[in-house]
């Protein structure tokens, strides 16, 4: 399905204190995790590839990220998304994800939110569409009942059972790619319940610091910036539960699409889940993604599919008053 052309961006990059009066944002949540999508009037990106556009956004327009997802308009939990023209023939649009700490490669809950926003705008009808991201193209399908299927970029396990010690407890985890880099750990000794999220965030922050100190990295020296603790599901109808620390101090209210993809890659590598079998991933607040995988094109890679639902929360205009010292976000 081809989307109608995107409304043109505002011409030239806006000065820090002057957003286009037509900047339109739509907020959704997917399993409790918010996504704020800029659908028009955002920064003009001239890069050809999505990776170049991300670099441009980071280098020249980072005030937009801060304005959209840091306080007072956003918070650590908010994930932002900027809609762009498609990069590749056959794709419908491009999208770049970010949060209060920086930029994401892919975002599963965010992609589901983007599709729900496009449906809200009337730009798509039920059916398939393709979205380009800085780490590859994903295929999505907007279903008649409002659910969204995402066929993610290929996922794989890079390192098996890396040992790390935090708070006197030695545990082991796999380093895996699911569109972002994850440390996926089961023998952490923590109880994964929503009344413990502050303790879990502190614990996983220490894991991330310990991995950095041990120089444990993803491919190409990338930082392992997402930490996923896994455990048994509380709902017997689900397959497992997780707690995911995202870049910065935020934790994912959803089961984390890229984290679930990384988990599928680890399960596949261990021979614990067959291609096509359903894995129901429960988040620390009890929201669920239904996931499965097929073998990827390359040895050791899986192609994850995620099924979830996003709901529209807000459809509005971005305003930055010229005399507002915090209009473009805090911390600067
Ligand atoms: O759903 O992939 C995801 C995600 C990444 C960070 C927050 N959510």
Q: Is 79 in the pocket of ligand 1 (CB under 6 A)?
A: yes
CA distances (Å), 30 to each of 74, 109, 174, 257, 308, in order?
16, 6, 26, 10, 7
Interval between CA 256 and ligand 1 midpoint (Å): 4
What pTM value is reported for the model? 0.94
Quick one: pLDDT at residue 15? Answer: 43
Q: Which portions of the chain are predicted below pLDDT 70?
A: 1-21, 332
Quick one: pLDDT at residue 331? Answer: 81
Q: Is 123 in the pocket of ligand 1 (CB under 6 A)?
A: no
Q: Is 107 in the pocket of ligand 1 (CB under 6 A)?
A: yes
Interval between CA 240 and ligand 1 midpoint (Å): 17
Ligand 1 probe mutation, 244, 247, 248, 249, most atoms within 8 A of CB: 244
Ligand 1 probe mutation, 35, 109, 155, most atoms within 8 A of CB: 109
Q: Is 225 in the pocket of ligand 1 (CB under 6 A)?
A: no
Atom index in ligand 1 nearest the CA of residue 110 equals: 1
Q: Is 109 in the pocket of ligand 1 (CB under 6 A)?
A: yes
Q: Is the dihedral of CA 163, 300, 248, 213 positive or negative?
A: positive
Quick one: pLDDT at residue 321? Answer: 95
Interval between CA 288 and ligand 1 midpoint (Å): 13
Atom index in ligand 1 nearest the CA of residue 111 equals: 1
Interval between CA 303 and ligand 1 midpoint (Å): 17
Under 8 Å between Cβ of 111 and 134: no
Residue nearest to atom 5 of ligand 1 (CA): 107
| Residues taking part in catalysis | 107, 256
ipTM of the complex: 0.99
Interval between CA 214 and ligand 1 midpoint (Å): 25
Under 8 Å between Cβ of 16 and 94: no
pLDDT 10s digits, 208-229: 999 999 999 999 999 999 999 9
Ligand 1 probe mutation, 35, 104, 177, 184, most atoms within 8 A of CB: 104
Q: Is 66 in the pocket of ligand 1 (CB under 6 A)?
A: no
């Amino acid at each position: 399905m081809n989307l109608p052309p995107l409304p043109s961006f505002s011409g030239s990059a806006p000065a820090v204190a002057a957003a286009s009066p037509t900047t339109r944002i739509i907020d959704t949540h997917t399993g409790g995790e918010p996504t704020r999508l800029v659908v028009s009037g955002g920064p003009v990106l001239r890069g050809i590839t999505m990776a170049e556009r991300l670099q441009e956004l980071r280098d020249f327009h980072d005030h937009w990220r801060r304005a959209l997802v840091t306080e007072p308009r956003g918070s650590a939990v908010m994930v932002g998304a900027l809609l762009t023209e498609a990069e590749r023939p056959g794709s419908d649009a491009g999208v770049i994800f970010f949060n209060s700490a920086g930029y994401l490669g892919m975002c599963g809950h965010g992609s589901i939110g983007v599709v729900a926003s496009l449906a809200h705008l009337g730009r798509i009808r039920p059916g398939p569409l393709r979205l380009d991201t800085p780490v590859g193209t994903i295929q999505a399908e907007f279903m008649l009942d409002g659910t969204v299927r995402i066929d993610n970029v290929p996922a794989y396990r890079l390192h098996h059972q890396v040992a790390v010690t935090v708070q006197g407890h030695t545990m082991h985890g796999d380093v895996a790619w699911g569109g972002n880099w994850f440390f996926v750990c089961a023998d952490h000794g923590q109880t994964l319940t929503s009344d413990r999220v502050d303790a879990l965030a502190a614990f996983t922050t220490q894991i991330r610091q310990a991995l950095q100190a041990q120089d444990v990295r993803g491919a190409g020296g990338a930082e392992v910036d997402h930490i996923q603790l896994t455990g048994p599901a509380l709902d017997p109808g689900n397959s497992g539960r997780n707690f995911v620390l995202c870049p910065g101090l935020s934790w994912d209210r959803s089961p984390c699409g890229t984290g679930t993809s990384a988990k599928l890659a680890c399960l596949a590598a261990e021979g614990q889940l067959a291609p096509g079998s359903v894995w129901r991933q429960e988040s620390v607040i009890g929201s669920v993604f239904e996931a499965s995988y097929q073998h990827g094109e390359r040895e050791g890679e899986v192609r994850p599919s995620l099924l979830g639902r996003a709901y529209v929360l807000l459809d509005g205009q971005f305003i930055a008053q010229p005399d507002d010292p915090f209009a473009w976000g805090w911390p600067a």
